[in-house]
Amino acid sequence: MPRQLELQSVSVNYGDVVAAKDISFGLGAGEIGCLLGPSGCGKTTLLRAIAGFEPVSAGSISLHGELISSPSHNVPPEQRRVGMVFQDFALFPHLSIEDNVGFGLRTLARRERRRRVEELLELVGLGDFHARFPHELSGGQQQRVALARALAPEPEIILLDEPFSSLDSALRETLAVEVRALLKARNVTAVLVTHDQHEAFAMADSITLLNEGEIVQSDSAYNLYHHPRTRFAAAFIGDGALLTLTAADDKQWLPEIGLSPDSETGHPEPGALVQVLVRPEDVVYDPQSRVQLTVLRRAFRGAEFLYTLALPDGQQVQCLASSQVDVATGEALPVRFNQRHIVLL
């Protein structure tokens, strides 16, 4: 069975600018994929290529096994059965919510159209809003209308370009979770584009991390966080310190943090420099530990203190400790490094 969406070695150029290079990824029916990365990494370009607004300069895009883009073949956007949702909602301000959602259904008989619109508004939790106008809705509600409108013509796939970025951050994550449930309920295949990892984590089944037009890592959220394969991925996803340490000997090769080799970390040669990614939750307060690090700063977070600690050589790590662990700046905090989560690069 062909996958719902398949990109094979896709490149997109704007003149001399290579905006996306050698991109391959695919989604099965009902899967939600995410293109994640900093501004300018080529996310919108790839969505526009999938929607048919940008020709590809190499590679191919297929939808449901049908070739829709290659350097010599380009199915026009209106024939692709692709739905799009944008950052700024782009609802028609002079049309009611009902007419906005029904916009792509003008070929249906009036009754049928009405029925579909009602069903979709019900689905996005706005059943009572059909007669209102966009300016009478909150940002989150408008975005749900935009989603209902994109779903109305029953596209093969929905493309969402930073759909929550104009909303405040608390609402963003809630809406991402809601939209995910909605898409899953209808088994809709979707590609989400965002620079916000929390949005990506809340919504996607799989994440393709991009940098400068290229794929850095395609993985689950869990693996991107716990097993980043490059410096870029380690720095982009989550908080953490990237320490450079010297392997001492076979038994205990990172004495500064009390790490010893195991099957996960491997056995670097004594004397080798190793890079270790340490997340704040990997540094655990432990009164029994012989590793004592100086507190440089601490920030009260309510339930926790976020401590910034100095290693003997001056490198810094962060530690999340219960706010009952109350150690002043300049004093030593005994900690244990949670080896299971530590990533060697």
In the bound state with ligand ADP, the residue whose beta carbon lies nearer, of 14 and 300, is 14
Decide if 151 contacts 158 (C-beta within 8 A).
yes
Closer residue to ligand ADP, CB minimum distance, 214 or 256: 214
Task: Answer left, alpha or beta for residue 80, where phi above 0 means left and psi between -120 and 50 means alpha.
Answer: alpha
* Nearest-5° Cα angle at 279, 273 to 284: 105
C-beta of 53 vs 103, nearer to Mg ion: 53
The H or E element containing residue 173 is: helix 169-185
- Residues 186, 268: Cα–Cα separation, whole Å: 49
Dist. CA 75–CA 69, nearest whole Å: 7
Max CA distance (Å), the chain: 77
Asked if 30 and 157 count as a contact pair (C-beta separation under 8 A), the reply is no
Query: Between residues 45 and 62, which has the closer beta carbon with respect to ligand ADP?
Result: 45
Question: Which residue type does 319 have?
Answer: C
204 binds ligand ADP (CB under 6 A): no
**Contact in structure between 334 and 260 (CB atoms under 8 Å):** no
Under the binding rule (CB under 6 A), the answer on residue 39 touching ligand ADP is yes
- Should residue 209 be labelled a site residue for ligand ADP when binding is judged by CB under 6 A? no
Q: What angle do CA 70, 75, 77 make, to 5 degrees?
A: 120
Q: How far is the CB of 15 from ligand ADP (least distance, A)?
A: 7
How many positions of this chain bind ligand ADP (CB under 6 A)?
Answer: 11
Place of tokens 């991009």: 210
200 contributes a contact to ligand ADP by CB under 6 A: no
Q: How far is the CB of 27 from Mg ion (least distance, A)?
A: 19
Is 43 a binder of ligand ADP (CB under 6 A)? yes
- 12 or 137: CB nearest ligand ADP: 12
Q: Which candidate, 173, 175, 118, places its Cα nearest to that of 143?
A: 175
For residue 334, the partner it binds in ligand ADP, Mg ion, none, with Cβ less than 5 to 8 A by kind, is: none
Residue selected from 5, 7, 10, 19 as contacting ligand ADP according to rule CB under 6 A: 19
Binding region for Mg ion (CB under 5 A): 44
Residue with tokens 């076979």: 250
Least distance in angstroms from the C-beta of 234 to Mg ion: 23
- What string marks each residue from 44 to 63 as x (binds ligand ADP by CB under 6 A) or -? xx------------------
Q: Is 342 one of the binding residues for ligand ADP (CB under 6 A)? A: no
221 binds ligand ADP (CB under 6 A): no
- 19's contact among Mg ion, ligand ADP, none, with CB below 5 to 8 A by partner kind, is ligand ADP
Between CA 269 and CA 249 the distance in angstroms is: 8
CB of 262 to Mg ion, least distance (A): 41
Taking CB under 6 A as the rule, does residue 245 contact ligand ADP? no
141/197 with CB nearer ligand ADP:
197
Strand ordering across the sheet containing 316-322: 283-285, 332-337, 292-300, 304-310, 316-322
Torsion, Cα 55 57 62 68, to 10 degrees, reads 40
CB of 25 vs ligand ADP, minimal distance in Å: 15
Nearer to Mg ion (CB atom), residue 44 or residue 100:
44
Contact with ligand ADP (CB under 6 A) among 5, 10, 41, 91: 41
> What residues line the site for ligand ADP (CB under 6 A)?
14, 17, 19, 37, 39-45
